[in-house]
Structure formats: structure tokens, C-alpha cells
Structure 1
Amino acid sequence: MTTEHEQIAVAGEGSAAAAPDVMRLSAGVEVRGASAAQAFAAVRSAAARLEAALRGAGVAGEDLRTSELSLGPEYEAYPRVSGYRAAQGVEAVVRDLAVADRVVDAVAGVGEEARLGGVSFELSDPSGALAQARERAFRDAAAKAAEYARLAGRPLGRVVSVTEETRGGPQPMAFAAMAAEDRSSVSPGRQTLSVGVRVVYAFGDAVPVTPGSGGR
């Protein structure tokens, strides 16, 4: 068993870029009415049109999720109510980016009640990119350990422990620049997955210098 004094701990970092293949779209409808019942009925009708439009654009029913449902008064001068506002939001998961533009256009086609909250992109299966990032992180740590061992004049021994360190969540992602050749209005660009690793090595036994081996 090695003690802490016979170990060296180093941190390594690695990353890998990949093209996202899933888009999440946040959309919804918003209406105003003279009464709560009128506003609520109108927003439910508009929401049904929005859902039908998204389905027609290629979004599967199981990939639609209600994300907001609200109803409340609006005041001309409190406590005088001037009307009621109702809103219903939906999150759509687009698994075929070839229809991404069509899906966005479908939201706009619902009418003046439509609201578009934005889009985000992700990888449906990040395991391949993460494996590549982990390998690069470990190699980075190994290279640092070898350098420190050389500076300490000790041979590098076995790996004692490996700990993966995440930053900002289990799958840190950062958007890279959008592809210049993509002429669609919606471009996923590329995402970079990063992994940090802490590796602890044992120092090997120093090689003694014997007479006649070149030492002085």
C-alpha cells in the first residue's frame, strides 16, 4: 500500500465535438378576453390549432408536452379589471432536423395568438462523444503525471484511483459556431462535450545508482 507521500495526483481535461440531432422548441399561444371564461376558451382553441399544426409539420404526438397553462386578470388601474389573459405553452421535440424549419413555420402559421419562445439543440446519444472526451482527458492526465514524475526523479507507478469531475452539470455542453454551409434558418451548429478527470498514481521505486553504472 502506498501512502499519500508516495503518490502523485493530476487533473486532465478532454473534449469532443459532435453535431446535435435533436431540437427542442418552446412555443405557445396567448389570448386576451373580456371574461375569464372567454379568454380560457379562446386559448384552448388556439392551443388545439397549434398542436395540430405541429403534428402536421412532423412532430410525433408523444413528443409534445404542455409546459404552461395560465389564466389571470389584467388591470386598468388596480383593482379595476380590464380583461383576462390566458396562455398555454408547449414543448416540441423534433427528432428529424430536416423538418426543423417546417416546424418553426407551423408555429407562425397558427396566427396572431402564437408565441415562439426559442429553440435548443442536443445529442440523442452523447455516449460516443463522451467516450472520446474521457479518453483525451485520461491521456492528458497521464502526460502530466509522467512529466511530474520525471521532474521529481521518480519512475511513475500504477494508477491508484480515477475520479471523473463534471462541470456545470452531468453533460456540459457549449455551442460552437454554426455551420457556414447550412442555409436553413435553423442551424444546430456543433456542441462540445467536456470531461475532467483526476488520476492518482503511485510513485515507483527509485532506481539505485550502483558503482560502475555511470553515477559519480
Structure 2
Amino acid sequence: MIKMSQAITSAVLVTTGLCFAGLSGGAALADSGSSVMTVEGSRPQITVVGEGSVSTTPDIMRLDTGVEVRRPTPGEAFTAARAAAADLTQALLAAGVAPKDLRTDELTLAPEYKDYPTISGYRATQGVEAVVRDLDKADDVVDAAAAAGEAVRFDGVTFEVSDNRVPLRLARDIAFRDAKSRATQYARLAGRGLGRVMEITEQNVTPPTPFVGFAAAVDRSSISPGRKNVSVSVRVVYELE
């Protein structure tokens, strides 16, 4: 479900020989952004920055997991890590993760020291990233990985939005309406009417930022994707009448 929220912004209006400071609201309604009105010969213009934000629910989970083993020799450690990683991979496949959604993202082998330079053994790791595209299976995938052996390690999860085009379009709509609303208000305060759009520039686009970690959820699930905001800022230049 997509929930739209209108950004609240401030403005500074500048005209030839006249300056109006933007009005500020309460702490909970702090504004951001700016507006500038200029008179250039016979074509007065006003430049505004509108902001829009849309809340959306992630639909993909990236599980960052892997294996870690310690053995007396490098060969033993490396072999054991590869075997444990194979078991983990098979467990993830059995839980419904597609082969194309599994990726090795780490492979290390290093000595460990008791009293340097005396080596006490060797530590080997192999990381496995699993992309879970059906969040209803997220708990099953995590449980399957945890049951794959004592060498398994978890480094957390990241939730993402697979396609942010729809929320971005909605955020742009909100940002443009915000810009037009503020331009109309300040043109009126300056005693002018709002004319045609002269220029549109998309300034800042904030895609859904990944949400990392495990969280409590409803429906007896231990993992929740939460919600993320998609934000857009747009700079619009209007001609004034």
C-alpha cells in the first residue's frame, strides 16, 4: 500500500527593492526549501522548490549470512568453510530461494595468533547473500539457514523496494503541486498573477533507503519490512503576470 504525505516547506520572496522573510511555523511544522522572485526587465519570474514524499512498503529481503570455521591448518580451515557454505546454500535452496538469488559475497582465510608471531590456528569464512522475493517465506528462509550447522553466522537483513517507479511518480506529483501552491501564494502576496512554467529541474531524488535489522511483526512473523519514504525535490520557474 502506498501512502502519500505532503511535504511542508518554507519560502523567501525577493523582489526588486523589497524582501519578505518566509513565515515559520511551530517546531513540528518546520519548513524547508526556498522561493525567489526576480524582476528581469519586462519578464518577472518566480523560482520555487517543491518537495514530495511517498511512503511505500519494501517487498524484497536480502539476507546477509555465511559460515565461519577454525582449524589447525589453512587447508583444513578452507575445506571446512567451503563444505559448510555448501550445506548452507543447499538449505537456502530447499527453503525456496532461487539459485539466481544466491551470491557468494565474502571468502577469507587468515591465521590466528596466541602470542604473535606464534600461530594458533586458521580462520576461514565464506559469505552467502540470499535474496528473498516472497516475504511470506522470510521466516522459513532464516530458520533454514540457522539449522544448516554451527558454522552459520548472520549479519542481518536489508529490505528494499524492487520497483520504485510508481512511488517516484507520485512523489513528483506531490512536489510539483507543492511548488505551484507556494508560487501562487507568493505571487499573490507580491500583487501578481502566476503565469506559465518556464523551467522545471528535478533536484533531489531519495530512493527508499534500505532498512537493516530484525524487527517484531504481526501475524506471528518475526521479520517485518517496515515502510520507507521516497522523496523528490523539484525546482520550478514560473513567469509572473
| Shared fold per TM-score greater than 0.5 | yes
| Largest Rg, 1 or 2 | 1
Match in the other structure for 1:130:
168
Structure showing greater relative contact order (alpha-carbon pairs closer than 8 Å, 6 or more residues apart)? 1
Question: How much has 1:180 moved relative to structure 2?
Answer: 5.9
Distance 1:91 1:32, change over 3 A: same
1:33 aligned to which of 71, 80, 87: 71
User: Are positions 1:198 and 2:215 aligned together?
Assistant: no
Task: Give the Cα separation in 2 of the matches to 1:123 and 1:18.
Answer: 8
Q: Which of the numbers 197, 210, 222 marks the counterpart of 1:185?
A: 222
> Whole-Å Cα distance in 2 between the matches of residues 141 and 24 of structure 1?
37
Identity %: 58
Q: SS state of the match for residue 173, structure 1?
A: coil
| Pairing 1:22–2:93 present | no
Instruction: State the 1:18 CA deviation.
Output: 1.6
The aligned residue for residue 171 of structure 1 is: 207
How many pairs align?
A: 199
Q: Residue 226 of structure 2 aligns to which amino acid in structure 1?
A: G
- Alignment partner, residue 212 of structure 1: none
Tell me the equivalent position of 2:128: 90
For 2:93, the aligned partner's letter is R
Contact 1:15–1:192 (Cα < 8 Å) also in 2: yes
Question: For residue 214 of structure 1, what is the aligned residue in structure 2?
Answer: none
How far off its partner does 1:23 sit? 0.6
Taking a change above 3 Å as real, the CA distance of residues 81 and 111 of structure 1, as seen in their structure-2 partners, is same
Shift of 1:183: 2.8
Structure 2 distance, partners of 1:78, 1:202, is 74
1:112 maps to 2:150? yes
Measure the CA separation in 2 of the matches of 1:81 and 1:12: 61
SS in 2 for 1:188: coil
1:2-36 deviation line (CA, Å, top 9, x unaligned)? 94972211111111112211111100000000000
Q: Which runs of 4+ in 1 moved over 2 A?
A: 2-5, 172-175, 178-183
Q: Which has the higher strand share?
A: 2
Task: Point out where structure 1 has 5 or more consecutive residues left out of the alignment.
Answer: 205-216
